[in-house]
A and B are shown apart, each in its own frame.
Chain A
Amino acid sequence: MALEAEVWSDIKPIPLDDGPDPLAPIAYDAEYSEAMGYFRAISQRDERSERALKLTERIVEYNPAHYTIWHYRQQILFSLNKNLNEELDFVKEQIESNPKNYQLWHHRQVLVEKLMDASCELPFINEILNDDAKNYHAWTYRQWIIRTFNLWENELDFVNKLLDKDVRNNSAWNQRYFTLFFNPTKPTEEFLTQEIEYVIEKIKMAPNNISPWNYIKGIIAKSNKDIGILEELCKEIEKQDIISPHAIGCLVDIYESRARKGSATDKEEGIRICTLLAEKHDAIRKKYWEYRKVILTSL
């Protein structure tokens, strides 16, 4: 689709100046080169107009990572007092076709910051996470929305649903931690006790799933509890003849914490299971477990 000639008749496009013999030149489509030529000309005189706005739209459709164009587009939008809700619809479509692009998500954030209205945001993010529940950009933006607009209330329910769907979704476990500990209202002792029970149930469903193991150790450390409370769980998994390097690794942590307080039997047991992990159950991490063994030995 060529640019309308009469709209641009007063502008002399400025060609790309990338030197006499540039490295890795891109074989641009003629229309992109033309649009960029006009862009160079109008940005030089800082023109903020309807046609400039259309031009930026054309360029980002070619290259949504063109951060300079987005930055310019924002200035045009604000100068012309454009309806930013329409722009939200535009960027929504863009994100739907390029969900892993820094510039698009940032553009949306700039708009919402200006509008100070997040009413459409969570449903929109949900839609994106529905396609890819681990989209890093979507989660980053979601945390900004929740924090900025104080939308903590239903977040735990949302996380619960995602974990019911895929208990291995590490992004959802991370969001759980965010919901509990970045919320200005801190979790009560009673809540934390229930939370630990919830995670233990999730671990039992799939003991080889690393995410809830990391999470439970994280909340234990955060709330200054003793990691020994996980011993029963680890032993129960062992008794069912389930081999889980995470369960055995957790026992290493437990024994090490006791060995540091002087327990010789825990030290011995810790060394024994480090060997088991290094030689048998987690051989890819052989050096790591041997290192943990040496630490235990030195205590």
Chain B
Amino acid sequence: MGILSGSRKLEELFTNTDALPTESSKAQTDTEVSVYELFKDARDKKLINTIKLNRGSHIKYVKDGLKGLPSYLVALDASKPWLCFWMLYSLDILGDELSQDLVKKGISTITKLQNPTGGFGGGPGQISHAAATYAAVNALATIGTKEAYDLIDRETLYNWFLKLKREDGSFVMHEGGEVDVRGAYCVLSAATLTNLVTPELTAGTAEWIKRCQNYDGGIGGEPGIEGHGGYTFCGLAAMEIMGKTDLLDIPLLLRWATSLQMQLEGGFQGRPNKLVDGCYSFWVGGLFPLLEAIMTRNLPEKDVEQSNSEVSKYIAQSLFDREALQEYILIACQSPKGGLIDKPKRGADHYHTCYCLSGLSTAQHHVIYDFERAKGKDLDSGARSLLWKDDVTNRIVLGDPNNLINSTHPIHNVALPNVRKMIEHFYGERNF
């Protein structure tokens, strides 16, 4: 499978506009043309088996960012933990081990973001924010030392989480802030890693997220709002943490997610009739490992054990085109100056670098939920997060075999071994 090695000619893959061009289809055609030119060049030069991830230049791009950012990025002055997470995670997933110096600086930077009233802010002295806290906890997980874990004040963190909660089960992003599905995911992901998930924290949340699932299967920011790749990831991952995915219409969500892979570009759009964007390689591509586990779990016992092994066989493979996604990321999303991008002709930034790489990892690896080890055990959220493993028999690495990067956790989006280390720290030794 894939686009360049697929059964259809590249020229046949342009979206059929039914002789009725509109603003949406014009923008779509323009994007297709810009990706087509890159793909055509790669095809004509027969680059498909040698195409390279420019690992060295991406590492350099991130390391330059860690040293300092230009003044116009003051727009990210309330997103400091995000910058730390995007950059440290990118290095980690690229296999560039964090130096002692980065570990030390990372810890001292994030220490300054924690508030005595619980949680982390977007910068020193800024009020605590759910997304900033999620990013801070993920950055600390990526740093992965005892000192990093122990700087988190869990008691105040938990009390602050409860302050974000509303009666209907949803979470605000900060005190006095907006409500949407990001709040639930950010709180629950951080709470899972730090062993703070309780029935009190999750009461009503699954029912609220269910209301955010739309008629087309996607999940929107709030009930009634259009389904969107980012919110759908947040909603599905939050449901998986709570063990409440049964409340969602999973077949419809699967169909919506598969519909977002672009037939010429190979990457994902975030909503129907919108343009491809490298960041949805993770927000949408990352839905598939979750869906696979959920669908396998939902199979009636008899199907797994007897006649319908065909069904489980088909579920047990990622239901998207893993080669095509890698083609988009490697051919269309690498900035020649280092860093990764949204789409051709755009500049690199640390957000897109992080999520293009997360998506690439998701397409290369087949990370699965270990049902064998889960059997007959009463599992909390932390234990369930430990049960994800890299199925090494089902790797697909497009182009140069050295393009393989590290595997990422389908719920937390932190490298798999780092999730294990942090959970074992906060829950004690686990027998999984």
Q: Is the CB of A106 within 8 A of B261?
A: no
Q: Given A29-B74, A140-B221, A24 and B108 touching (CB < 8 A)?
A: no
Q: Does B100 make an interface contact (CB < 8 A)?
A: no
Contacts of B153 in A (CB 8 A): none
What is the bound-complex CA distance between A215 and B217, given in angstroms?
11
Range, interface on chain B: 35 or more
Q: Does A285 make an interface contact (CB < 8 A)?
A: yes
Q: Does B308 make an interface contact (CB < 8 A)?
A: yes
Q: Is the CB of B75 within 8 A of A211?
A: no
Q: Is the CB of B125 within 8 A of A298?
A: no
Q: Is the CB of B254 within 8 A of A68?
A: no
Question: How would residues 229 to 262 of chain A score, 1 for a CB under 8 Å from any chain B CB and 0 otherwise?
Answer: 0000000000000111000000000000000000
Q: Is the CB of A279 within 8 A of B7?
A: yes
Question: How would residues 18 to 43 of chain A score, 1 for a CB under 8 Å from any chain B CB and 0 otherwise?
Answer: 11111111111100100000001001
Q: Is the CB of A26 within 8 A of B74?
A: yes
| Nearest CB in chain B: distance from A260 CB, A | 13
Q: Given A24-B65, A63-B77, A208-B18, A297 and B310 touching (CB < 8 A)?
A: yes
What is the bound-complex CA distance between A106 and B258, given in angstroms?
32
Q: Is the CB of A286 within 8 A of B76?
A: no
Contacts of A291 in B (CB 8 A): 314-315, 319
Q: Does A282 make an interface contact (CB < 8 A)?
A: yes
Q: Is the CB of A26 within 8 A of B124?
A: no
Question: How would residues 109 to 131 of chain B score, 1 for a CB under 8 Å from any chain A CB and 0 otherwise?
Answer: 10110000000011111110100
What is the bound-complex CA distance between A200 and B272, given in angstroms?
18
Can you report 27 A-B residue pairs in the complex whose CB atoms are below 8 A from each other?
A: A19-B111, A22-B108, A22-B112, A23-B84, A24-B67, A25-B68, A26-B73, A26-B77, A27-B70, A32-B74, A40-B125, A65-B75, A65-B76, A66-B126, A140-B180, A143-B222, A147-B224, A170-B274, A174-B226, A205-B20, A206-B18, A208-B17, A214-B215, A214-B256, A284-B324, A297-B310, A298-B311
Q: Given A24-B66, A282-B263, A18 and B18 touching (CB < 8 A)?
A: no
Q: Which of B21-29, B190-198, B333-341 contacts A (4 or more CB under 8 A)?
A: B21-29
Contacts of B224 in A (CB 8 A): 143, 147, 178, 182
| Nearest CB in chain B: distance from A7 CB, A | 22
Contacts of B273 in A (CB 8 A): 168-170, 209-211
Contacts of A221 in B (CB 8 A): 215
Q: Given A29-B71, A106-B178, A295-B311, A287 and B321 touching (CB < 8 A)?
A: yes
Question: How would residues 308 to 324 of chain B score, 1 for a CB under 8 Å from any chain A CB and 0 otherwise?
Answer: 10110111011111001
| Nearest CB in chain A: distance from B267 CB, A | 11
Q: Is the CB of B83 within 8 A of A102?
A: no
What is the bound-complex CA distance between A291 and B288, given in angstroms?
14
Assuming A165-B22, A206-B17, A211-B273, what are 19 further A-B pairs, CB within 8 angstroms? A24-B68, A24-B69, A63-B78, A65-B75, A67-B177, A68-B78, A102-B178, A106-B177, A136-B221, A140-B225, A143-B222, A171-B271, A174-B226, A177-B215, A205-B20, A206-B18, A279-B7, A287-B1, A298-B308
Q: Does B409 make an interface contact (CB < 8 A)?
A: no
By CB atoms of chain B within 10 A, which of A16, A165, A284 has the most?
Answer: A284
Q: Quick one: which of A211-235 are within 8 Å of B by CB?
A: 211, 214-215, 217-219, 221-222
Q: Does A283 make an interface contact (CB < 8 A)?
A: yes
Q: Does B266 make an interface contact (CB < 8 A)?
A: yes
What is the bound-complex CA distance between A136 and B314, given in angstroms?
35
What is the bound-complex CA distance between A211 and B102, given in angstroms?
47
Contacts of B311 in A (CB 8 A): 294-295, 298
Q: Given A68-B126, A168-B273, A295-B311, A23 and B7 touching (CB < 8 A)?
A: no
Q: Is the CB of B314 within 8 A of A284?
A: no
Interface size on A, residues (CB 8 A): 81
| Nearest CB in chain A: distance from B34 CB, A | 18
Q: Is the CB of B271 within 8 A of A62?
A: no
Q: Given A23-B83, A285-B261, A291-B315, A174 and B74 touching (CB < 8 A)?
A: no
Contacts of A17 in B (CB 8 A): 112, 124-125
Contacts of B79 in A (CB 8 A): 65
Q: Quick one: which of B260-315 are within 8 Å of A by CB?
A: 261-263, 266, 271-274, 303, 307-308, 310-311, 313-315
**Secondary structure at chain B's binding surface: helix, strand, loop or mixed?**
loop
Contacts of A62 in B (CB 8 A): 74-75, 77
| Nearest CB in chain A: distance from B328 CB, A | 11
Q: Is the CB of A24 within 8 A of B84?
A: yes
Q: Which of B67, B215, B271 contacts A215 (CB 8 A)?
A: B215
| Nearest CB in chain A: distance from B170 CB, A | 13
Q: Which of A23, A219, A243 contacts B102 (CB 8 A)?
A: A23
What is the bound-complex CA distance between A287 and B258, given in angstroms?
9
Q: Does B428 make an interface contact (CB < 8 A)?
A: no
Q: Does B8 make an interface contact (CB < 8 A)?
A: yes
Looking across the interface, which residue of chain A has its beta carbon closest to that of B230? A136
Contacts of A43 in B (CB 8 A): 125
Question: How would residues 43 to 86 of chain A score, 1 for a CB under 8 Å from any chain B CB and 0 otherwise?
Answer: 10000000000000000001111111001001000000000000
Q: Is the CB of A22 within 8 A of B226?
A: no
Question: How would residues 172 to 199 of chain B score, 1 for a CB under 8 Å from any chain A CB and 0 otherwise?
Answer: 0111111010000000000000000000
What is the bound-complex CA distance between A214 and B177, given in angstroms?
32
Looking across the interface, which residue of chain B has its beta carbon closest to that of A75? B176
Q: Is the CB of A27 within 8 A of B71?
A: yes
